[in-house]
Amino acid sequence: MQQQNDHPYKTWIDLAAQRLGGQALQCSDDFFAEMENLLKPAAPVFIDDKYTDRGKWMDGWESRRKRVVGHDWCVIKLGAKGIIHGVNVCTRFFAGNAPQSVSIEGCVSEIAPNDSTEWQPILIQSNVNPDSDNYFGIESQEAFTHIRLNIFPDGGVARLRVYGEPVIDWDWFLPGEPIDLAYVKNGGRPMACSDMFFSNMENLIMPNRGKDMGDGWETKRRRGGRECDWIIVKLGAKGSIEKVLVDTAHFKGNYPESFTLEAACLEPHQSPDENTEWHEVIGREKLTADSEHFYRHNIQNKGQHFTHVRLNIFPDGGVSRLRVYGFLAEKEGE
């Protein structure tokens, strides 16, 4: 399977990721290998001499050979409701037992889908290659909570990745409640960074505290060149910045010496570039190892509205999480 940094949808979030709450709910058949394997975060593996009482052990979802008319399917609850831009139906190690083709449908439901659920096509029936990554672009602009992967007629799929942008129901929040505008489930998305040699930039805005040093954003040791490393995060919505959390959990010998935080206000669909005007939100502050760092009283430009933030770390190192709390511009009469 390709490294996460190499796939064509690397700037989007895997909406079906287990750490967001993605879950395989039900399937037509998983006789040889359980449906839960589809959403495992790790790349699939193959163990040559491993068997179960049902046959060859496979690291994926695999149905038995279908001897009746029809096809197999699996229903996935997305970890975050969102607009899907691309998928990877990975058939790695399913060389002689991959499906011939697949399709994907979606729905919006507050409960687990059932026989009365109305499904909408997302990906028309398309051929897949065995033992391969199979990437498909998705053109729908609708947001979905669940998808159904159909495989024709049967076979095995190692992993399913569903890349897109979370769409939050802002009515869930109470009037005047501060919101983490950078949080992945609130629509935050990393746009670019100077380096992510050791771990992916999307970790910075994931749920909970990092579970280990690999669950954060970490750059390689900088040997000259640029003054600092940086990451740009698109906020889930335009809003003010009232308090900030920078967490260096598990980074003990490789945390940044210090950081600054800047913000910009861009038009919809506009991306930051060399001409973007950045405003200082937090001046240069020291960081310590394996700690949460809270900032409220020293926030600059409070009340001003922003769409993007840029975290600069000096000179390099690792940060586990970034939280940017503020108020929605729309709720303030803008």
Confidence of residue 172 (pLDDT cuts 50, 70, 90): confident
Asked if residue 263 has pLDDT above 70, the reply is yes
What pLDDT score was predicted for residue 5?
A: 57
48 compared with 11, residue with greater pLDDT: 48
Q: Which two tokens stand for residue 165?
A: 């942008």
Q: Classify residue 219 by its DSSP letter.
A: P
Average pLDDT over residues 277-300: 97
pLDDT digits (tens, 9 = 90+) for 30-57: 999 999 999 999 999 999 999 999 999 9
What pLDDT score was predicted for residue 171?
A: 80
225 compared with 288, residue with greater pLDDT: 288
pLDDT digits (tens, 9 = 90+) for 182-222: 999 999 999 999 999 999 999 999 999 999 999 999 999 98
What does the mean pLDDT of the chain come to? 94
Confidence of residue 332 (pLDDT cuts 50, 70, 90): very low
Asked if residue 148 has pLDDT above 70, the reply is yes
What superfamily in CATH does domain 172-332 come from? Galactose-binding domain-like (2.60.120.260)
DSSP string over 231-287: EEEEEEEEEE--EEEEE-TT-SSS--SEEEEEEE---TT----TT---EEEEEEEE-
4-166 shares its CATH topology with 172-332: yes
Q: Which helix (H) or strand (E) holds 126?
A: strand 120-127
Distance of CA 87 to the CA centre of its chain: 12
What pLDDT score was predicted for residue 333?
A: 42
Average pLDDT over residues 68-77: 96
What pLDDT score was predicted for residue 3?
A: 43
Mean pLDDT comparison of 122-136, 158-172, 264-278, highest-scoring range: 122-136
What pLDDT score was predicted for residue 223?
A: 83
Which residue(s) pair with 89 in the sheet?
A: 160
Measured between alpha carbons, how far is 243 from 327 in angstroms, rounded to an integer? 10
Confidence of residue 80 (pLDDT cuts 50, 70, 90): very high
Confidence of residue 268 (pLDDT cuts 50, 70, 90): confident
Q: Give percent above pLDDT 70 in the chain.
A: 97
pLDDT digits (tens, 9 = 90+) for 296-331: 999 999 999 999 999 999 999 999 999 999 999 875
CB 184 within 8 A of CB 20: yes
Q: Where are the domains of the chain?
A: 4-166, 172-332
- Of 72-76, 148-152, 169-173, 304-308, the one with minimum mean pLDDT is 169-173
Q: Please tell me the number of Cα atoms within 13 Å of 69 on its side-chain side.
A: 0
219 contact partners, CB below 8 Å, separation of at least 6: 193, 194, 195, 196, 197, 198, 229, 313, 316, 317, 318
Confidence of residue 2 (pLDDT cuts 50, 70, 90): very low
What pLDDT score was predicted for residue 139?
A: 93
What pLDDT score was predicted for residue 269?
A: 83
What superfamily in CATH does domain 4-166 come from? Galactose-binding domain-like (2.60.120.260)
What pLDDT score was predicted for residue 24?
A: 98
